[in-house]
Structure formats: structure tokens, C-alpha cells
Amino acid sequence: MRVKYTLKRLHDVTRALSLRRRFDRHDTWSREQLERHQREKLSSLVSYAVQHSSFYKKLYAHIDTKREVNLHDLPPISKATLMDNFDSLVTDPRLKLSELQAHIGQLTRDDPYYLGEYRVLATSGSTGLKGVFVSNRKEWRTTIAEYLRCAAFIGMKPRLPNRWKVAQIAAGSPVHVSYRASVSSDVGQFKVKRIDATTGMANIVTALNAFQPDIVSGYPSMASLLAVEQMEGRLLIHPRTIGTGGEMLTEDMKRKMREAWGITPHDIYGLTEAGAYLGSECSFHRGMHVFEDLVIAEVVDERNRAVPDGVSGARLLITNLFNFTQPLIRYEVSDMISMAAEPCPCGRPFRTIAVMEGRSDDMIYLQGIAGGEFAVHPLNFHGPLEAFDEIKEYQFVQEWKGIDVFIVLRQGVSADQMADRVKKKLKEKLESLGARCPELRIRPVERMERDPQTMGKLKHVQSNSKPR
Ligand SMILES: [Zn+2]
């Protein structure tokens, strides 16, 4: 069983490697070539979906799918729609949501393919509703190829015989895509060590010092905490590259990593719905390139109308061009981003993300000075706190009355003094926006708790008091 399992994985990685080499050729495409490729892939996906999924057959009943379809004619679908119609949306009638959920529930590190041919993943549900995503073995190889492509984008093409050592710091959940992709590629290509983000900093530092990774990958908040550990002399590693993803990478975090290791982190856009990885920064660090040969990403406003490059949208519509098992066509993702209006100097035809503002459901609602409710973008909370070098990490939690501001201070910093300064800075910021400053409770803590339920991800700004 074990030998057969390893052979199957080796076979998948070998195929994924050749697929990634094929992707390399797309780097030199023109924008026209890329858009033609998207149209062709979309047509095949739509016609397959209509033939094999009763959900899409009904949804597109009024559209002539025999001709080349216009993307904008297709109605977007939400996660709730996807999950409510799961069994009729997938294109293999043997795939039933209840059975897939049962399969996920008993997954371990060495899971066999479901029915011998399907890979099943779940999203962590940090936005409320848990999603279940399924791909067949061929599609899963594309996901592994995306993982290898991200590594290539950050300058780490596979190396033998001294394999690159990758330390991946996240909470260990085998149903999550980053976990599965790294396990899948941990055969011959990279030597991957997973370190649990929830075990406490001292344990993480010890593990990293012993492993001496070439690549460190993890949440940006975790990587910047490690940078502080390095600067203060407890951590002694010399990574060539740092890959970050899953949370917002701020300027302050980048600065800390540059100071600690002399390198700029590469930001990677993980999105299970897009296979696994929607995009990655290249060596120019001009924002993450979206892998537009594998997905169509539309930046749209609240009414799903396209917004031009350079302008922030309310959400993204994602069309996954390679998953025919569970077609996701104009699928709503709540990330608020803007695409760069200028191409990246590297010459790749893929657009880059100029600004990544977080998820629209992260908005904080306060009273306005002029009355009424006032939406404050989470970005406005980052700036005031990042101005303080004395603060290692922070988190805002809005409660029914007021906001708790948790801060982790560097050694030797007076908590009382900081509390006053932080309050003053935040009040100035919120009032300058036109919001009435709520009660602010500054709470110095030893460390932030990382929740294994969300893969140890730290949500910097969260509200427990959403408007009804
Ligand atoms: Zn580039």
C-alpha cells in the first residue's frame, strides 16, 4: 500500500514538473495570445459544464453555449450557491457533498485519492462558510505545478542532489491546500519541513535553527515575528528566499525582513478556488502576477460590473480554467484588490495586483462624526500601529462596545506609555476619516494566540459586532 502510494505521488510530481515547464513557455506570450487562450479554455469549460452538470445546464438555459460565449453574459455564483447545489454542480454524479465531508473528516497525512481519483480539499472557513473543493488527479497535478511555478517565480527551481530545504510554518491541517500541495511535492523536489504555527515561538525558533532552511514560507505576520527573533539574536538562519501568503503583507513587515536577512519577501496569493495558487510576485516585486493562463480574474464592483485596472473593486470573480470536475465560472471571492495599470518590467503577459486590501467582510463599521454608520477599511488600522517600532504584533477586535487593541511589545518597552501613544494615534486617524472614535482598550499581551481552526492564521482586524 505504502509503496504504491509513494509511486503514485512520484508519478504525479513528475507530470507536474513537465507541466510547469510548459507553463514557463506562457511567460513569453503576448497579451493577445493569452486572451485567445482564455477564450478557448472558457468555451470548452462552459460546454463541458452544460453537458455534465445539471446545475449549469439550468443556469445557462437562456444562453447559446454552442457558440463562443461572452464571459459577461454568464451569471456569477457565490459560495453559498456552490455549497447549496454541490451535488448537481459537480460533473461526476458519484461525488456527493455528504460523502466528501465524511472523507475530509478522516483525512490523515497519507490520504489516498477519493474513489482512487479525486483530491478533496476544504477552505478554513475564515469568512464564515466552509467550502469543499474537489479535483481529479489530472487537475491536481496542475495544482502541484502551480506550487512548483510559485517556487520558480521566487527563484527556486528544483535542485538536485542537494534539495532545497523548505520550512513551512502553518497549522497542520491535512485538508488545506497548502498542506496537501507541499506534501505532494515533498518527493524528490523539495525537502519540506512543516512547523506548527500554534506551538509557540520558542519551539518554532528551535526547529528552524536545527533545520537551517533555504526557503521559509508562512504567514507574513509570522515571518516578520521571526525577523524580530533574528534581529534580537535568538534565531540564526540564513534563508535565500521568504515566501509569504494568507494574510496582508505590509510595508513594515517587509522592512523587518529586509533588516533581518537582507532579502525582500515574495508574496504569494493562495486561493483554493483557483486550484491552490492564484499568483506570485516575480523578482521585480511589482505585485503578484495572476496566473491568467489558468484562471480568469475579474475585478468588479458591488453589482459585479468590471472596474478598470488601477481601480479597487468590491470583489473578484474567478473562473478556474482547468478544473472540469467542479466548474467554478465567475465565482465570487470577497478579496478587494486593484490590478496594476502598467505591465511588470519582467515582460510576462500576466497582470499584477497593485493593491491587496483584504476581504470586504473585514470592514469595520463605526459611528460617523456626521451621524449614521461609517465603514472603515481595515488598512486604516494597520498604519497607525506600524508607525511604532516598539510593537512586535497587534490585533484589533471590535466588540459590541468599543475595540480591544491587543499589542505584543518588544522587550523593555513600558506598556503604560505605549497605551497612551497608541490611543492618541488611532483616535487621530479615525477622526481624520470622519469616524467617531469608539472606546479603545489597549491590552498588552505576551503573545497572540493562533487558532488551529484557521491554520494558525492571524486576523489583524476583526469584528465580533457586525451590523445586522
Ligand atoms: Zn514580473
Q: Mind listing the pLDDT tens digit for each residue in 164-204?
A: 899 988 765 665 666 666 666 665 668 888 888 777 788 99
User: What is the 284 CA–ligand 1 centroid distance (Å)?
Assistant: 6
Segments making up each domain of the chain, as ranges = 2-359, 363-463
User: What is the 27 CA–ligand 1 centroid distance (Å)?
Assistant: 10
User: What is the 418 CA–ligand 1 centroid distance (Å)?
Assistant: 40
Residue 215: strand pairing partners: 166, 241
Among residues 189, 448, 260, 181, which one has the least CA distance to residue 242?
260
Collect all residues with Cβ–Cβ distance below 8 Å to 441 and sequence separation of at least 6.
Answer: 402, 403, 404, 405
Collect all residues with Cβ–Cβ distance below 8 Å to 215 and sequence separation of at least 6.
Answer: 151, 154, 156, 164, 165, 166, 167, 190, 239, 240, 241, 242, 243
Mean pLDDT of 209-221: 92
Question: Alpha-carbon distance 225 to 170, whole Å?
Answer: 14
Superfamily of domain 2-359: ANL, N-terminal domain (3.40.50.12780)
Whether the predicted pLDDT of 35 surpasses 50 = yes
Whether the predicted pLDDT of 124 surpasses 70 = no
Q: Mind listing the pLDDT tens digit for each residue in 239-287?
A: 999 999 887 888 888 999 999 999 999 999 888 887 778 899 999 999 9
Do the two domains 2-359 and 363-463 of this chain adopt the same fold?
no
Whether the predicted pLDDT of 46 surpasses 80 = yes
Phi-psi category of 450—alpha, beta or left, where left has phi over 0 and alpha has psi -120 to 50?
Answer: beta
Q: According to the model, what pLDDT value does residue 45 have?
A: 97
Name the pLDDT band for 8 (thresholds 50, 70, 90): confident
The highest-level CATH class for domain 363-463 is: alpha beta
Mean pLDDT is lowest, of 54-68, 132-146, 185-199, 300-314, for: 185-199
Residue 406: strand pairing partners: 395, 443
User: What is the 351 CA–ligand 1 centroid distance (Å)?
Assistant: 9
Question: Alpha-carbon distance 277 to 266, whole Å?
Answer: 13
Mean pLDDT of 372-397: 82
Of residues 129 and 217, more confidence is placed in: 217
User: What is the 285 CA–ligand 1 centroid distance (Å)?
Assistant: 7
Question: What's the mean per-residue pLDDT of the chain?
Answer: 87
User: What is the 214 CA–ligand 1 centroid distance (Å)?
Assistant: 22
Mean pLDDT of 368-395: 82
Mean pLDDT of 96-125: 81
Q: According to the model, what pLDDT value does residue 276 have?
A: 77
Q: According to the model, what pLDDT value does residue 129 have?
A: 66
User: What is the 341 CA–ligand 1 centroid distance (Å)?
Assistant: 13
User: What is the 153 CA–ligand 1 centroid distance (Å)?
Assistant: 9
Collect all residues with Cβ–Cβ distance below 8 Å to 290 and sequence separation of at least 6.
Answer: 269, 278, 279, 297, 339, 350, 351, 352, 353
How much is the pTM?
0.82
Whether the predicted pLDDT of 468 surpasses 50 = no
User: What is the 280 CA–ligand 1 centroid distance (Å)?
Assistant: 9
User: What is the 346 CA–ligand 1 centroid distance (Å)?
Assistant: 4
User: What is the 299 CA–ligand 1 centroid distance (Å)?
Assistant: 19
* Grid cell at residue 176: 488545506
